[in-house]
Amino acid sequence: MAGTVTVPSASVPSTPLLKDELDIVIPTIRNLDFLEMWRPFFQPYHLIIVQDGDPTKTIRVPEGFDYELYNRNDINRILGPKASCISFKDSACRCFGYMVSKKKYVFTIDDDCFVAKDPSGKDINALEQHIKNLLSPSTPFFFNTLYDPYREGADFVRGYPFSLREGAKTAVSHGLWLNIPDYDAPTQMVKPRERNSRYVDAVMTVPKGTLFPMCGMNLAFDRDLIGPAMYFGLMGDGQPIGRYDDMWAGWCMKVICDHLSLGVKTGLPYIWHSKASNPFVNLKKEYKGIFWQEDIIPFFQNATIPKECNTVQKCYLSLAEQVREKLGKIDPYFVKLADAMVTWIEAWDELNPSTAAVENGKAK
């Protein structure tokens, strides 16, 4: 009929945002049937799948997705001796996908995370919300009590300095989870039936000087701005600690973002975290970290990066040396981790020579 206009759904944009500028990175040990639920939102984008565990196992990916898949043999072939910095038998292996991506933005999600619904019952396009977070500024230098002032229907409140209203570039968007909360093993044990049903319609900037426990299962970042800092450390097979990969990356990233005047947002979007991991297995992985974090967190709270460090790589190498010097006294693992942090940067620069000289998001 003449004059009829089809209005696209608000949750599925007619032209996907950043279609050619964003990769979706998924670590996995199993068939990726969960992608069927995400098909309306993910199918237009390129996927980078990092297969953990047995490289001879075949991972099934549903038809219709554009993807590349890397297993441990591929990682060893591409990185050679530097492959030692990529964790094995741990979801920390996902950061290899960050390294081989050639896109400006990365979104990473776990394979037990499904599409959540907002309070009205509508499917949440998590990727679209992450993109909105990344494309609008952050406010790390002064807290806005209406949270994100750049969202529709919000603004800067009375008393917010006009000189700071331009905000800062957003480097990281940290999303949350409905159903299974991201708890540590002791909390899982004492609250085995607890589920998160609270949907808080808010996005806020993590203030400068404040650390937070970053979770890697619903996370997006500007690879050009902060990519080299998103190293998930040495975890899993052969290491004395696990389940601290994303948090380690988050602490390093936040210190560097503060130094380079970049912003980090947390809040929306939500995903549906479908299953709880075994708390007893988790405790075995976490128990050293539970003790160590009482020293690790003050270390990051007091870490300072020299003014002459004007690239993410320089900042990260400075942190690596401080890890070696100060945390190495706690356990030899941290000396090994510091070595791996240096190796990570060397490998990143080999695969991404054009990003080796970027100052605050601008080429030198």
Query: The domain spanning residue 76 has which CATH number?
Result: 3.90.550
What is the domain extent for residue 347? 22-352
Residue 2 lies in a domain: no
Residue 4 lies in a domain: no
Residue 229 lies in a domain: yes
Residue 72 lies in a domain: yes
Residue 12 lies in a domain: no
Residue 17 lies in a domain: no
CB atoms within 10 A of CB 333: 16
pLDDT of residue 359: 59
Unique residue bearing structure tokens 């998160």: 196
- In angstroms, the CA 206 to CA 212 distance is 8
Residue 61 lies in a domain: yes
pLDDT of residue 276: 87
For 10-48, b/e burial (b = at least 16 CB within 10 A) is: eeeeeebbbeeebbbbbbbeeebebbeebeebbebbbbb
Return the structure tokens found at 72.
């441990």
Residue 134 lies in a domain: yes
Counting as low any pLDDT under 70, the low residues of the chain are 1-14, 356-364
Q: What is the pLDDT of residues 149-162, one digit of tens each?
A: 999 999 999 999 99
Q: What is the pLDDT of residues 267-321, one digit of tens each?
A: 999 999 999 899 999 999 999 999 999 999 999 999 999 999 999 999 999 999 9
Domains held by the chain: number: 1
Q: What is the 3-state secondary structure (H, E, C) of the chain?
A: CCCCCCCCCCCCCCCCCCCCCEEEEEEECCCCCCHHHHHHHHCCCEEEEEECCCCCCCCCCCCCCEEEEECHHHHHHHHHHHHHHCCECCHHHHHHHHHHCCCCEEEEECCCEECCECCCCCECCHHHHHHHHHHCCECCCCCCCCCCCCCCCCCCCCCCCHHHCCCECEEEEEEEEEECCCCCHHHHHHCCCCCECCCCCCEEECCCCCCCCCCCCEEEEEHHHHHHHCCCCCCECCCCCCCCHHHHHHHHHHHHHHHCCCEEEEEEEEEEECCCCCHHHHHHHHHHHHHHHHHHHHHHHHCCCCCCCCEHHHHHHHHHHHHHHHHHHCCCHHHHHHHHHHHHHHHHHHHCHHHCCEECCEEC
Query: pTM of the entire structure?
Result: 0.94
Q: Give the residue from 178, 253, 171, 183 showing the smallest Cα distance to 212.
A: 253
Instruction: Give the contacts of 24 (CB within 8 A, at least 6 positions apart).
Output: 42, 45, 46, 47, 48, 106, 107, 108, 109, 127
CA dihedral 202→208→214→218, nearest 10 degrees, is: 40
